[in-house]
Amino acid sequence: MTIFIRSSVVLGAFLLSRLACADSKPAANQTQITKAQAPAAASGIVTGADQVSSYLPLLKGKRVGMLVNQTSIIGKKLSVDSLRSLGVDIKAIFGPEHGFRANASNGAVVKDEIDKETGIPIISLYGAKRKPSKADMAGLDVMVFDIADVGCRFYTNINTLADVMEACAENNKELIILDRPNPNAYVDGPILDMRFKSGIGKFPIPATHGMTIGEFAQMVNGEGWLPNKLKCKIRVIKVKNYDHSMYYEMPVKPSPNLNTQASVILYPSLCLFEGTIISQGRGTYMPFTVLGAPALKGKYDFNFTPVSITGMSESPLHKDAVCYGLDLRKVDPKKLHASKKINLQWMIELYNAYPDKSKFFDSSQSKAMGKIEKLIGNDVFVNQLAQGMSEEAIRKTWEPGLSNYKKMRKQYTLYAD
């Protein structure tokens, strides 16, 4: 069951102004709001979280659990802090990959703890367990999901969403989703062959699924993707004045290694390199905007050296070794977004340039053998590169799966394309 709610503009503005006056200083460890906030404001986009009057009555007098991280903001303030100041009884915070305050590296196990800022217990869903337990849910009346997503199958927020939906369905709790724009809201890539289902791919969807979190929750319900065909009661607070065609600049970095708008837009194309010997810049302050490897010396002039960076990447690929390759920081993210395509040319170029093709997917160096299949979603991509297939020819092999997915997707969209 899905319920949509509209907000009272006047009351919402009053509540937001009250929150701003209550505390004009950013919360400790909160990622600073950047100039990226301006485009959203100019277009009139209002996130679900910012429509406080729409959902505050649904939370008052109830024991609330919140699945949130550093992207969960109302105005410029963390939603947990904002809602507590309005009298919402938040009993538990559930943290995804990277943790509630995004201070854990990619893939790092995150432990349960007590939040130092609020005193609220933080229950990790990226450590000993992936979904809230029956005991966790017993002390709650309602769950709130408020996390920004970047629209990729291999970005783990949609997996966490499904796990929480499952827990809510099993324990008869409603899930309120405060929807946010998807910065990569286009559909592209091969459909995941479920033989390669993993923690970085759980659903038969393309690499970029073209949906917001609220829309994706509807698809999970509608397609029966929860165990035993469970259905979660969800209530989506829609984004106002938004459609999928908009170029949306994220006001807060979604994770430690997506620290610029360019990295967010490049991520769908560059994350595929995590299944190769090529560094994507982890271990630098420009991750997901550069590509390189030591073996490409002499092929490229541009170089960078990955090092250990606490909270970003402690043990990056090619640590302390000079990597040579491509500098993509000058790629116009707006033009890449407008193409509505994952770029395969960089993969083709670096594969062709690599001196020992047999080691391009070498697990002894990249610890990635088999990971490329999980990322791209099939077991034919490696052979396609080896055969010298063009990007156009590779794309043709994604059909008819991609077209069929697009037809299915239309059943669940809340916003125009």
pLDDT tens digit sequence for 77-112: 999 999 999 999 999 999 877 667 655 555 556 678
**Mean pLDDT, range 330-349, rounded to an integer:** 96
Q: Is the predicted pLDDT of residue 118 greater than 60, yes or no?
A: yes
Q: How confident is the model at residue 311 (pLDDT cuts 50, 70, 90)?
A: confident
> How far apart, in whole angstroms, are the C-alpha atoms of residue 370 and residue 362?
10
Q: For the ranges 10-14, 261-265, 284-288, which has the lowest average pLDDT?
A: 10-14
> How far apart, in whole angstroms, are the C-alpha atoms of residue 240 and residue 261?
22
Q: Is the predicted pLDDT of residue 28 greater than 50, yes or no?
A: no
**Mean pLDDT, range 402-408, rounded to an integer:** 98
**Higher per-residue confidence, 175 vs 126:** 175
What pLDDT shows up at residue 30? 30
Handedness of CA 309, 315, 320, 326 (dihedral sign): negative
What pLDDT shows up at residue 367? 52
What pLDDT shows up at residue 369? 46
The owner of tokens 């709610």 is 5
Alpha helices by DSSP H, 171-232:
213-222
Of 64, 61, 77, 72, residue with least CA distance to 15: 77
CA distances 37 to 25, 32, 113, 151, 336, Å, are 17, 11, 31, 19, 20
Q: Is the predicted pLDDT of residue 364 greater than 90, yes or no?
A: no
**Higher per-residue confidence, 373 vs 107:** 373
What pLDDT shows up at residue 98? 60
> How far apart, in whole angstroms, are the C-alpha atoms of residue 153 and residue 344?
17
Alpha helices by DSSP H, 330-417:
333-339, 345-353, 363-366, 371-376, 381-386, 391-396, 401-409
Q: Is 350 left (phi over 0), alpha (psi -120 to 50) or beta?
A: alpha
Domain ranges, ordered by start, for the chain:
2-237, 261-386
What pLDDT shows up at residue 102? 54
**Mean pLDDT, range 146-173, rounded to an integer:** 96
Pairing status of strand 234-237 against strand 2-4? parallel
Q: Does domain 2-237 have CATH number 3.40.50.12170?
A: yes
Please tell me the pTM assigned to this model. Answer: 0.88
Q: Is the predicted pLDDT of residue 393 greater than 90, yes or no?
A: yes
Of 144, 212, 132, residue with least CA distance to 176: 144
Q: Is the predicted pLDDT of residue 399 greater than 90, yes or no?
A: yes
Q: How confident is the model at residue 61 (pLDDT cuts 50, 70, 90)?
A: very high
Q: Is the predicted pLDDT of residue 15 greater than 60, yes or no?
A: no
Residue range 179-235, pLDDT digits in tens:
999 999 999 999 999 999 999 999 999 999 999 999 999 999 999 999 999 999 999
In this structure, are residues 173 and 137 in contact, taking their beta carbons and an 8 Å threshold?
yes
Q: For the ranges 6-15, 249-258, 268-277, which has the lowest average pLDDT?
A: 6-15
Helix (H, G, I), strand (E, B) or coil at 78: strand
**Mean pLDDT, range 107-132, rounded to an integer:** 82
Structure tokens at 141: 């009346």
Of 355, 371, 247, residue with least CA distance to 317: 371
Q: Is the predicted pLDDT of residue 6 greater than 50, yes or no?
A: no
